[in-house]
């Protein structure tokens, strides 16, 4: 059972460019270095208009639920703390774990 771990983030306009660069160069590589995910995608949500910021979805693909749970237990707290320390007060985030049911 493959798992998609989705993190939806609204990032404040004032730190947007810095955040995007940091995500690509630092945070996402650190998440992938955990070895718990096989691939990732960073998507910008186009249809939502939010005056407070820009909305993104970052999706990580895990081979199974165990890998995802290990990531949540062993890696996520420190990585989430790092984001909070760097961009605290400038973003809102929610996370979703989804099972891949059908894929083409």
Q: Is the pTM of this model over 0.85?
A: yes
Phi-psi region of 56 (alpha: psi -120 to 50; beta: other; left: phi over 0): beta
Q: How many domains does the chain have?
A: 1
In the structure, what pLDDT confidence band is assigned to residue 50 with cuts at 50, 70 and 90? confident
Provide the pLDDT for residue 51. Answer: 83
Is-contact 6 94, C-beta < 8 A?
Answer: no
In a domain, 86, yes or no: yes
Beta strands (DSSP E) in 1-104 are 3-12, 39-44, 53-62, 91-99
Q: For 26-35, what is the mean pLDDT?
A: 98
Domain ranges, residue 47? 14-99
In the structure, what pLDDT confidence band is assigned to residue 49 with cuts at 50, 70 and 90? confident
In a domain, 84, yes or no: yes
Distances (CA, A) of 60 to 6, 12, 31: 6, 23, 9
Is-contact 72 96, C-beta < 8 A?
Answer: no
Residue among 68, 87, 96 at smallest CA distance from 27: 87
Provide the pLDDT for residue 52. Answer: 85
Q: Is the dihedral of CA 22, 55, 70, 78 positive or negative?
A: positive
CATH code, domain with 21? 3.30.70
Burial of 61 (0-12, 13-18, 19+ CB in 10 A): middle
Q: For 51-80, what is the mean pLDDT?
A: 97
In a domain, 7, yes or no: no
In a domain, 104, yes or no: no
pLDDT above 90 (res 97)? yes
């Amino acid at each position: 059972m493959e798992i998609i771990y989705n993190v939806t983030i609204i990032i404040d306009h004032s730190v947007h460019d810095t955040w995007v660069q940091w995500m690509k160069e630092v945070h996402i590589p650190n998440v992938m270095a955990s070895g718990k995910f096989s691939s990732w995608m960073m998507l910008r949500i186009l249809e939502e208009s939010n005056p407070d910021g820009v909305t993104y979805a970052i999706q990580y693909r895990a081979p199974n639920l165990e890998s995802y749970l290990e990531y949540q237990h062993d890696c996520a707290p420190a990585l989430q703390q790092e984001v909070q320390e760097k961009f605290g007060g400038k973003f809102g985030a929610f996370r979703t774990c989804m099972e891949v049911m059908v894929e083409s």
